[in-house]
Chains A and B, each alone.
Chain A
Amino acid sequence: MLDKLYITPRQWGHIFRWTMYFLLVLAAILLQTVIFGNGGMFGQRPDLVALVIISVCFREGPERGGLFALLSSTFWALSGIDQGALQILCLTALPLLGSLLCRKVFAASYMASLTVCILTLLVSQSVGFLLKMFYEAAPGSLYFTRLLPGILVSLLFQPLIYWLVKCIEKIGEPYEAT
C-alpha cells in the first residue's frame, strides 16, 4: 500500500512540469487582462493564453497536450471571457488536431508550431468575429483594422512563449538514456 503512495523523483518532475505549465497559463491570463487589458500593445490586446495553450499542446502531443488544452481553456472561459464555449472548443480542438497532423505528416518543428498558432488564432477569432457581426452588427471593416493586427501583435509573443514551453518541457525528462 505504502509502496504505491511513494512518488519517484521522475514523477515529482512531471508534477512540477505540469504545475509550471499551469502557472504559465495563469501568468498569461494576468498579463492579458491586467497589464495589456487597457490600452494593449500598439493599441491591440495580444491573445497570450491561446499562444500558451497551443504551444503546450504542440510540444506535449495531442493526448497529454489536448487534455491540458481542455482544462486550461475551460479555466480561461470560466474566468469571465466573452464567448467562453467557443473558446473552449477552438482552443482545444484546433491545437489538438494541429499537433496530431504535424506529428503524423510534418516534423514537430518551430515553423509547424507557428503555423498551428496562426491557424488557431485566425479560426477562433474569425468565428468569434462572425458571431459579433451577426448578433451586434459589428462592421466588417473591423476584421482588417482590428482582428488581423491583433493576431499579428499576438504572434510577436509566440517565439518567447514557445521557448518558455520548450524549457518547461525538459523538466522531468528521463535522463537514464544518456
Chain B
Amino acid sequence: MKKGMSGRVKLLLILTALVAALFAISSALFGSTWLHGAVQGLLTPIRGGVNAISKQVERYYDYVFSYESLEAENEYLKSRISAMEEEMRSADALERENKRLKELLNLREEHIDYQLDAAYIVSWDSSNWKSTFSINKGSNAGLEKGMIAVTELGQVVGTITDVGNNWATVTTILDTSMEISASVASSGYTGVVQGSLDPTSRDSLRMSYLPSDAILRNNDQVVTTGSTVYPKDLILGYIVDAGYDETGVSKFATLTPAADFEALEQVFIVTHFDSE
C-alpha cells in the first residue's frame, strides 16, 4: 500500500457514522422527520407519474398480446354483470320484505357506518421481507396512523403505519409485524392472525392460539373480531391448512389472504366506523 486512508476519507467515515446515528435516534424518538416528509413528498408525485406510465404500457402490452383473452374475459364479465343485475333485482325484493318484517318485529336495523376514502398505490417496499406500500393520499385527506385499508370487497389489506401530507405507508397483513384478533366465521373459534414469511408460500397468513379441540375445515372464512382499530367481520382470508402448534396445546391454521395482493392497485381507507 502506498499510504493509509487520507484525512478526507477518515472524515467521511466519521460523518457517515454520525449521520446514521442521527437518523436512527431521530427515527426512534420522533418517527418521521420533516426531512423524511420532504423527500417522500417530492417522490410521491414522481412515483405516481411513473406508476401511471407503467400501467399504460402494461395495458398497451396486454392489448397487443392478449387481445383474444381480453375479448373472452369481456364476454364473461358481461354475462356476470347481467347475472348480478338479476340477483340485485331479487335482492331488492328480499330487502323490502326483510324491512317490512323488521318493522313488524320492532327490530332496529343495524348499520356499520363506514366512511371510505379511495387511494391509489404508488410504490411498494423494496425489501424482500417486509410488506408495505405507499399510497397517494395522506394527512391532507384526513388519513391518520392506525386506520385500516380494505379492498372494494371488504377484504382487509393492512394498516396505515406512517403518514405524510400527500402520502401514507400501509403495512399489509402479510407483514410479520401485524397481529390481528380474528375468528372463524362459521364456528366462532377465535385466534390471532399474523403475517407469515413462509418460504414455500409468500402470501400466507397464520392463525394461532386456536383451541386444541377446534374443528377447522378448508375454505372456512376468517374474519376480524372487531376492536377500536378494526371493524368487525371484515374478511381476512380462508383456511387452507391446520395443525397443532409447537407446544401441542393449541391449534394453528394457515390461511390464504382474501385480498389479491398481486393485483392490488387501489385501496379504500376506513376513516370512520361505528365500533359498537
Binding site for B on A (CB under 8 A): 26, 29-30, 32-35, 37-40, 43-45, 47, 49, 62-63, 66-67, 70, 74-75, 77-82, 84-86, 88-89, 92-93, 96, 100, 104-105, 128-129, 132, 136-139, 141-142, 145-147, 150
A40 to B131, CA, bound (A): 13
> Which stretch, B44-52, B63-71, B83-91, B266-274, touches the partner chain A?
B44-52
Q: Which of B114-129 touch A at CB < 8 Å? A: 121-129
Minimal Cβ-Cβ distance residue in B for A44: B128
Minimal Cβ-Cβ distance residue in B for A81: B126
Asked if B169 contacts A80 (CB within 8 A), the reply is yes
A137 to B134, CA, bound (A): 25
Q: Which of B161-183 touch A at CB < 8 Å? A: 162, 169, 176-177
Asked if A45 contacts B127 (CB within 8 A), the reply is yes
A67 to B9, CA, bound (A): 9
- The distance from the CB of A94 to the nearest CB of chain B, in whole angstroms, is 10
Binding site for A on B (CB under 8 A): 1-2, 5-6, 8-9, 12-13, 15-17, 19-21, 23-24, 27, 35-36, 38-40, 43, 46-47, 50-51, 54, 121-130, 132-134, 162, 169, 176-177, 197, 199, 202, 261-262, 264
Asked if B20 contacts A86 (CB within 8 A), the reply is yes
Chain A interface secondary structure, helix, strand, loop or mixed? Answer: helix
A63 to B9, CA, bound (A): 6
- The distance from the CB of A48 to the nearest CB of chain B, in whole angstroms, is 9
Asked if A74 contacts B19 (CB within 8 A), the reply is yes
Specify which of B15, B54, B199 is in contact with A34 (CB 8 Å cutoff): B54
A77 to B6, CA, bound (A): 27
| Contacts A/B (CB < 8 Å), 25 sampled | A26-B46, A30-B47, A33-B125, A34-B123, A35-B54, A37-B124, A37-B133, A38-B121, A40-B128, A45-B124, A62-B6, A63-B8, A63-B12, A66-B9, A70-B19, A78-B38, A80-B36, A82-B130, A84-B23, A84-B27, A85-B20, A85-B24, A93-B13, A138-B129, A139-B197
